[in-house]
Homo-oligomer: A and B are copies of this chain.
Amino acid sequence: MATTTDTTATYEAFLDHVKRLHYVGDAGSVLQWDQQVMMPSGGTPARAKQSSALSTLHHELLTDDRLGEWLDELDDADLDPEQAAVVREVRRDHERAVRVPSDLVERISEASSNALPVWEEAKAEDDFAMFADTLEEMVELRREYAAAIDPDRDPYEVLFEEYEPYLGVDTAEEVLTTLRDELVGLIDDIADSDVTLANPFEGTYDDDTQQALVEDALSTLGYDWDHGRLDTAPHPFSTGTQFDARVTTRFKPDDPMDAVGSTIHEFGHATYTLGLPQEDYGTPLGEDRDLSVHESQSRFWENHVGRSRPFWDLFADTANDHLGTDASPRAFYEAANTVHPDNLIRVEADELTYHMHIILRFEIERDLIRGDLAVADVPDVWNEKMAEYLGVRPDTDAAGCLQDIHWTNGAIGYFPTYTLGSVLAAQLDHHVRADLGDVDALVRDGDFAPIHDWLTERVHRHGARYETDDLVREATGESFSADHFLAYADEKYRDLYDC
């Protein structure tokens, strides 16, 4: 064991390096935000060079031999629990990065760039065959990537851990399978229900109207404009730091509820980021606990607040003022929760059927990576699963297996975190209510501070100190579980659809 003085010096040098790595990564995020929100189209060639230079520097800092040496020294050192957590997180990232040959990183990056126009054309032409070789190449590259990290483990498990390092693919599979089996019956009953939910919207709503509406929604929920901003982007996202967490949204002329939901979703991501401890900026203690937990925060605010009846009791008047409508809180509530089992497109799915879209993708990508499914069979399998899970079969590949960009980017293993986040959101919601009492009254009164405080205290302030399940236990006193989500969904939707 190193002496305390040595350890302190080593840990400080190590931490300086870690912070620098993090700052360079965050600088890259600023460039990406700018590219998607502000940059004129002609700027692409220069931006590609700038982003690539930062990304290479980040990789060099992460795989730096000195970092490996510091990690080895700190392995045997007497660290406090927070320091040990920092070392654990950095070691994980360092080890994954050094195991992947840089030529493979470059081949994946190049293949992604080349794949994008192929996917775009195949989707436009509605022809999966045009994309099949490209997908095959990406699957092979990702299998190679997984094998580089750990040749002895299930490659899908290794890829999944890129996005959700600690919950385990077995948990993911169990949760997703449970949801599939439980939700099919509920969705069937809704499809058979005679109930038609309200839709108070007619005609179109211009961008300025929707912008003012969602700004008010953000202010109502307590978004801190001194530490964030709202802009539009083709694909809404949130990015930033605990000092500056920005939200983007989009406006569909005939569907203002889409902008409201999407904005509140990204607000949820931003509140997580803003709740991370400022004093730990640049270290894992000031970083988010990966994608499932991040998505739990966005889904908490989107679904358990933004789609709740008390929220519309609070916000209906404001919404009517902006939209020129005269809808009741109940009508907004119904509009926000209408289920469309016949919808084919994931990003347009409701809160409930969304998960069937995810489960289908999870099963297909898992089987592709494990070699249990041939690329050529993807369209048929996709369409069969859609028929089985949602009772609707896509007529075209464009509305089927070509709809998402994720596999084109090589982001295989990402989809499950959407559903895991929703499941965790329901679990947190259950415990927020158990701890705070009449949460509906707080929402109805616009008194969101106790909810923000609960989430910050239980989740945000820990950063990445705990592994995911430990964080869930820290926050809720129980292990990660799908039970709360199933109970929530069953109660809410059987009531809405009288089924």
Q: Which residues of A contact B (CB under 8 A)?
A: 19-20, 23-24, 26-28, 30-31, 34, 38-47, 49-54, 56-57, 224-229, 240-244, 278, 281-282
Contacts and interface: CB of A to CB of B under 8 A. Distances in A.
B40 A229 contact: yes
Contacts of A51: 27
A225 B40 CA distance: 7
A228 B40 CA distance: 6
A406 B240 CA distance: 31
A34 to B, nearest CB: 6
Contacts of A244: 39-40, 42-43, 46-47
Given A40-B229, A43-B244, A244-B43, A49 B224 contact: no
Interface centre among A20, A224, A229, A244 (most CB of B within 10 A): A244
Main secondary structure of the interface of A (DSSP, over half): helix
A46 B31 contact: no
Nearest to A286: B46
Nearest to A241: B46
B50 A30 contact: yes
A111 to B, nearest CB: 23
A40 B226 contact: yes
Contact of A282 (B28, B49, B241): B49
A42 B38 CA distance: 20
Interface centre among A19, A45, A243 (most CB of B within 10 A): A243
A54 B61 CA distance: 13
Nearest to A41: B226
Given A27-B54, A34-B30, A46 B229 contact: no
Contacts of A24: 50, 53-54, 57
Given A27-B31, A31-B27, A38-B38, A46 B228 contact: no
Contacts of A282: 49
Given A30-B34, A281-B45, A20 B53 contact: yes
A19 B31 CA distance: 18
A298 B152 CA distance: 63
A167 to B, nearest CB: 29
B227 A42 contact: yes
Contact of A49 (B28, B47, B281): B281
A166 to B, nearest CB: 26
